Amino acid sequence: MVQDLSKIEEKITESSAWENVRNFLNLHIDVNDKISISILDLIVIITVIFITTVVLRLVLKILTRNLPEDDKGKFNVVYGYFRWLVYVVILLITLHTVGVNVTAVFAASAALLIGVGLALQTLFQDIISGVFILIDQSVHVGDIIEIEGKVGRVEEIKLRTTRAVTIDNKVLVIPNHLYLTNSLYNWTQNGTLTRESVEVGVAYGSDVQLVKKLLLQAASTHPDVISSPEPTVVFTNFGDSSLNFKLVFTLADSFKAQFPKSDIRFEIDKLFREHNVTIPFPQRDIHIIQKPE
């Protein structure tokens, strides 16, 4: 009988303890007349924030595992802003889930967020494009790129802009969102060697084999032309006024390709003059028909 009474007292004590814990968890904190948060709600919010932090760190490690150290620093800055945005969204969703009225908060911030979003639309496009460049690794420092007809060697890749130097030593500042809206030509993504060409036309009746020999000689004697693969000559077309040829050769530094091309054109003109090969002017045959009086 005594043992039964002691068990009953223990059960009563346990139930009283659980009741006290339940009452403590249901204790509400009134922020104002519309927002009231319980202790249990706070524990749920803290747990959700903790889980979100763990997930965000895991995602960061996955995204940056193949990035160079310099690019990791740039990416971490952007990811920091993105992380706080995720925290705000998760917090609002959690508050709404646990029963806190956040409609007033959404209504008050909607107009402000729309205005800020429209004002910073281009900035966000540039930053997002910069993140894509860092992750995709489509452009590196030192690459020679062509965009919107402009050619430059990439000197620095920032989150909003990419800085490149043109052949005439001018700084080209490229907003990163142009990579998403325009075609980008990366001349050196497959390596520093590039195939270049010089086109020329000769008069009809010229010795085409001699022309081929002279073109190959003009390319092979230039010090900047790579011997392997060897220069080649392509007979491109029978033009209106000339026989058209293309001299194809390989350069190690395509960024300054205009100078070897110019030297080769000088050499072609010299060799053609020495061997009496004519570069013709545009020609037209005019037939005059005289009507009888």
pLDDT computed for residue 131 by the predictor: 72
**Buried b vs exposed e over 95-130: b needs ≥16 C-beta within 10 Å?**
beeeebebeeeeeeeeeeeeeeeeeeeeeebbbbbb
Give whole-number Cα distances, 9 to 1, 2, 19, 198, 259, in Å: 12, 11, 15, 102, 100
- For the chain, give the number of residues: 293
CA pair distance 37, 44, nearest whole angstrom:
11
Domains of the chain: 10-119 (1.10.287), 138-186 (2.30.30.60), 194-274 (3.30.70.100)
Residue 282: asked if its preceding bond is cis (omega within 30°), the reply is no
Q: Please, which pLDDT band fits residue 2 given cuts at 50, 70 and 90? A: very low
The first and second tokens of residue 208, run together, are 């085409």
The first and second tokens of residue 78, run together, are 């952007």
Strands (E), 191-241: 194-202, 232-238
Residue 73 scores a pLDDT above 80: no
Give whole-number Cα distances, 108 to 52, 83, 102, 104, in Å: 26, 23, 10, 6
H helix intervals, 39-120: 39-64, 69-97, 103-119
Question: What would the mean pLDDT of 26-39 be, rounded to a whole number?
Answer: 59
Helix (H/G/I), strand (E/B), else coil: 60:
helix
pLDDT computed for residue 93 by the predictor: 76
CA pair distance 93, 97, nearest whole angstrom:
6
Q: Please, which pLDDT band fits residue 264 given cuts at 50, 70 and 90? A: very high
Residue 138 scores a pLDDT above 80: no
CA pair distance 171, 162, nearest whole angstrom:
10
CA pair distance 221, 260, nearest whole angstrom:
11
Q: What is the pLDDT of residues 143-167, one digit of tens each?
A: 888 888 788 888 888 777 888 888 8
Q: What is the pLDDT of residues 249-260, one digit of tens each?
A: 998 877 778 889
pLDDT computed for residue 178 by the predictor: 82
CA pair distance 112, 105, nearest whole angstrom:
11
How many of the other CB atoms lie within 10 Å of CB of 141? 15
Give whole-number Cα distances, 226 to 28, 248, 249, 252, 263, in Å: 79, 11, 7, 7, 15
Point out the least confidently predicted range of 84-93, 99-108, 194-203, 247-256. Answer: 99-108
